[in-house]
Chains A and B, each alone.
Chain A
Amino acid sequence: MISPEKAVVAAILLCFAGAVLTLGIARLKTLAGWLAFAVTAATAGLIFAAVGRVLVAGPSPEPATFWAMPAIGFALRVHVDGLTAIFLLLAALVALPASLYSIAYMKHYGDYGVARYYPYFLLFLAAMYGLVSTTDMMWFFFIFWQMMTLTGYALIRFEKRKPENIRAANKYLMMMQIACAATMIGAELLAGAGTPANGGAALKYDFGTVSANLPLLLRARPGMTALAFGLFLVGFGIKMGMWPFGQVWLPDAHPAAPSPVSAMLSGVMIKTGVYGLLRYFLWLVPPVAQGDYPVRSWGLVVVLLGTLSLFTGTMQALSQEQTKRLLAFHSIGQIGYILLGTGVCMVMLPARGPDAAALATLGLFGALFHTLNHGLFKGLLFLNAGSMLHATGTQDLNKMGGLLKFMPLTAATTLVASFSISGVPLFNGFASKWCIYVAAVQGSRTAGYLAPCAVVAILTSALTLASFIKFFGVSFLSRRSPLVTAQAARRGKLDVDWRMQTPQVFLAALCLLLGLVPAIAFRFMQQAMNASRHGLGAVFADAAPALNPPWTGLRALEGRALFVPGALAAVVLVAFLGARALSRLGGARRRAVAPWLCGYVRESACHHYVAHHFYGEIKRCFRWLGGAPQRPRTGSKKT
């Protein structure tokens, strides 16, 4: 059994090899696709093994050094602890379906070759594996970050003949470079000012060294450390799409990339920002320095930024009419929830009181769980959007309608993902939002501003629901649009083939599983916290909510907050069957009829109420938020 660190490095090397091989056989699109999938599956296997080992047997005591140049503090040191394990697992879980999906999906690009797709895809994945497991804050952070940025750039401008894609990619590249610079300057401020303690100059930028120096530094130069942490917040905030940075690049970059890459961008890549935030703000600071580290103030900043992100992102998403652009704005919104959970955790961490530590842990669990959930359902939604694009050739919601009849499986998975992201009970989004709300509301005893933030989050959840009712409704339900009719007549069948359906079903099944048995995720996170006891992160392992058998659901605050999805599902199921039986009591016969339009006119396409018209009054009230799309080129003008 190889050590987790070796497994991760092996996975990265495997990706490199895969990149070279797929480049070599790029002429054979399908074969290259299967090869890329095989490589991704192999790395996923390695990652699962590494994660399993860390969770069961605990992490290695020390980071493993693979390559070092002591003179300049250059060392590839890799450490897989619990926090890393969560993000590694997320990357593997989303990459696996995305790569399988790519095989059939990339064929519809016609004359765009896959030589600029699969190699970059694999390198992109490798960079993400590397970024979340290296302990080097400078050189290897830079290398992996740039690898992720540049391959991401190439993937976003894959359809390079469209000028808007080039623009989106350039914007993305610029923002990522700013983020990289901010984070590296921050690291230099922390590492450069301290005296190397144990490892000498060789490990100047290592987490261990910086962490050991931090207590002194926090006391001696509070202004400079605050600047460093501020730079980290900006850097990782740009990466994760936090307000106001997210609005700059994210809504353009996500729709430009091919759909499986959008799934990776939104599902995994922006989460490396969350990882960085947690790692630097919580795990890097040792508990002895807590007196000098204003974690509560940082928490306030993160809570406010999170609340702003979730409200603005979702409100802007409400007015979108392009599938993937809508989803991209929701990424900003959902990142807001993750930030809110993280912020609550940071606010509660130094608080005194019986529940403080438990609430901090609950907030963190909510944030981590939502990170995982968002990866699953947003990945799924981007794949759904890809299937819709594949079937209809457009991202424009105004031109869709009535797809359910043609692609029932895609419709079902989209419904699951839509309910998940909107936080409908029994789906996974609800469980993670539940943790965040409980922590925030209960935490408002300590910090009064948390309660209004929680209410904004609840309001935003309704906005999300509204947005996805529109997304699902106008594309799959509603009336068949002329475009869909034309496509169906031209192509015979619209539904995508099994290589694109399987990934969607896989992700939808995971969403349902985590929604019905969220305790699995809790157990996983608790093991992960147990396996990453350093810095302020050590608090969470001991204060984790009590573990029950998975079917008894979630409990927090000694049972003062609880959610048992199993029992709820049973009640709803019985009630559902009861309602069905009731509706059949009268023996009514069903008959399909034409819709009724006041009796004097036949329905035609010009009567359709398209996506553009939805929620007009609310959109008008919040027009000042920006992000509104242009008026649709076609479609009815009537109200």
Chain B
Amino acid sequence: MNILWIIPGVAVNAGLVLLVAPLCEGVLRKVTAVVQSRRGPPLCQPYFDLLKLLAKEDLESGEAPVVQRAAAYLSLATVVTVAGLVPMGLGIPMNGVGDVILLIYLLTFCGICTLLAGLAAGSTYSIIGISREMMTMIALEPLFAIALLIGVLHTQSFRLDAVLKGSVYSADGFPWSGVIMVGVMLLSFQAFVQRVPFDTSEAETELMEGPLMEYSGPKLALFKYAQMARLVIHSALFVALFVPWGSAFVFPVGWLLFWAKVGVLVLLVTLVAATHARYRIDQALHYFAGLLLVALAALVLAAYGY
């Protein structure tokens, strides 16, 4: 792909994500409300929230406002960049920029910006949240890495367009490693998108938003926007990696099907979130450790061609 097309391509992908993300959040809130027998806000409420936050006063309570600002900008910027590395129903604009390993690292880096922001704010609650969030990330990063590396082992290629095409299944059927990995990823998906029961780092009832507690106004809008976008990006990644069927149809059909699958995944996340209670951090870590062992076994199977 021509190098000049990268930035417009990323803009298209990121634009799509940023456009859809608040809607997904709206769906999430509405469905949660319905499940809990409430009426819930209108579907468009997250758009209004973001707009309102952008105009609100920007309170800075930390001792390092420069870092706070940079972290806020960077958190949205990394999400936008990651959007360019993931197929949003079409091609991957940054296919020629990096491979699977870059994707693994950038996904982790998305979270780091929030951590820096919380540290710069310096409130005790934020830092407790950071400590928890980092521990969750330590446990989650290898899970995602294993899912992608299984794809790499099956396709013998690190390229994103080769791996993000249902590569956990090989061409001639369903190898054990891929099937196990689908299960593992489904069981840990809530954590990747930071929703109940794994939102221990924000835990409104005990930590009051954790890392973001000192933020308001435009910075909070950016962090919130990035978080909404992460739900969409992770869902898209999941669909691209594990539910590839139908994406090969001609443009509007395959594309619509892709987004339909993303929508179903968002609904699933919502239902799980609305019906579960939050885990304590140590319970969550034990849960992830168990999944990690299973995933490692799947990786070994993949390395030996199963």
Contact = CB atoms under 8 A, between A and B. Distances in A.
Interface SS of chain B: helix, strand, loop or mixed?
helix
Interface string B50-94: 010111111111111101000011111110110010000000001
A451 B302 contact: yes
Given A477-B67, A588-B56, A590-B57, 18 more contacts: A424-B112, A425-B102, A430-B105, A451-B303, A455-B142, A462-B142, A469-B112, A477-B63, A564-B96, A567-B96, A571-B97, A579-B72, A579-B77, A583-B54, A585-B54, A587-B55, A596-B61, A617-B282
Contacts of B186: none
Contacts of A225: none
Ordered nearest first, which 5 A-B pairs have the shortest CB separation?
A: A586-B55, A586-B54, A473-B119, A575-B77, A561-B158
B98 A455 contact: no
7 contacts: A469-B119, A557-B158, A562-B159, A567-B94, A567-B97, A579-B75, A579-B80
Nearest to B221: A583
Interface residues of A, number: 84
A458 B147 CA distance: 13
A423 to B, nearest CB: 6
A616 B75 CA distance: 26
Contacts of A571: 6-7, 10, 80-81, 84, 94, 97
A423 B105 contact: yes
Given A458-B104, A458-B145, A560 B98 contact: no
Nearest to A558: B157
Interface in B110-166: 112, 115-116, 119-124, 127-128, 130-131, 134-135, 137-138, 141-142, 145-146, 149, 152-153, 156-159, 162
Given A402-B63, A564-B96, A617-B135, A589 B72 contact: no
B124 A607 contact: yes
Interface stretch (B35-43, B211-219, B234-242, B252-260): B211-219
A489 interface: no
B203 interface: no
A451 B149 contact: yes
Contacts of A586: 51, 53-56, 217-218
A438 B163 CA distance: 14
Given A448-B303, A571-B6, A615-B135, A455 B58 contact: no
Determine which residue in B124, B213, B289 has the highest number of CB atoms from chain A within 10 A of its CB, and name it.
B124
A575 B80 contact: yes
A567 B6 contact: yes
B157 A560 contact: yes
A583 B218 contact: yes
Given A438-B158, A582-B76, A596-B61, A466 B134 contact: yes
Interface in A160-185: none
A451 to B, nearest CB: 4
A466 B138 contact: yes
A239 interface: no
Interface string B192-236: 000000000000000010000110011101100000000000000
A478 interface: yes
B14 interface: yes
Nearest to A590: B58
A4 B208 CA distance: 64
Contact of B141 (A405, A462, A613): A462
A61 interface: no
A562 B67 contact: no
Given A441-B153, A477-B64, A455 B296 contact: yes
B80 A589 contact: no
Contacts of B217: 586, 588
A441 to B, nearest CB: 6
Contacts of B58: 588-591
Contacts of A477: 62-64, 67, 116, 119-120, 122
B149 A589 contact: no
B57 A437 contact: no
Nearest to B285: A617
Contacts of B128: 609, 613
A461 B101 CA distance: 12
B300 interface: yes
B251 interface: no
B185 interface: no
A224 to B, nearest CB: 35
Contact of B77 (A463, A578, A584, A589): A578
Interface in A553-608: 557, 559-564, 567-568, 570-572, 574-576, 578-580, 582-598, 603, 607-608
B98 A576 contact: no
Contact of B159 (A451, A473, A560, A615): A560
B108 interface: yes
A477 B54 CA distance: 25
B285 A621 contact: yes
Contacts of A402: 63-64, 122
Contacts of A476: 64
A458 B131 contact: no
Contacts of B282: 617
Contacts of B131: 609, 613-616
A446 B281 CA distance: 39
A597 B123 contact: yes
A463 B63 CA distance: 26
A462 B299 contact: no
B250 interface: no
A462 B292 CA distance: 14
Determine which residue in A405, A458, A614, A615 has the highest number of CB atoms from chain B within 10 A of its CB, and name it.
A458
A598 B214 CA distance: 11
B54 A424 contact: no
A615 B98 CA distance: 31
Nearest to B53: A586
A597 B128 CA distance: 13
B73 A579 contact: yes
A576 B226 CA distance: 12
Contacts of B138: 459, 462-463, 466, 618
B54 A441 contact: no
A477 B137 CA distance: 21
A448 B99 CA distance: 22
A442 B159 CA distance: 12
A618 B116 CA distance: 20
A463 to B, nearest CB: 6
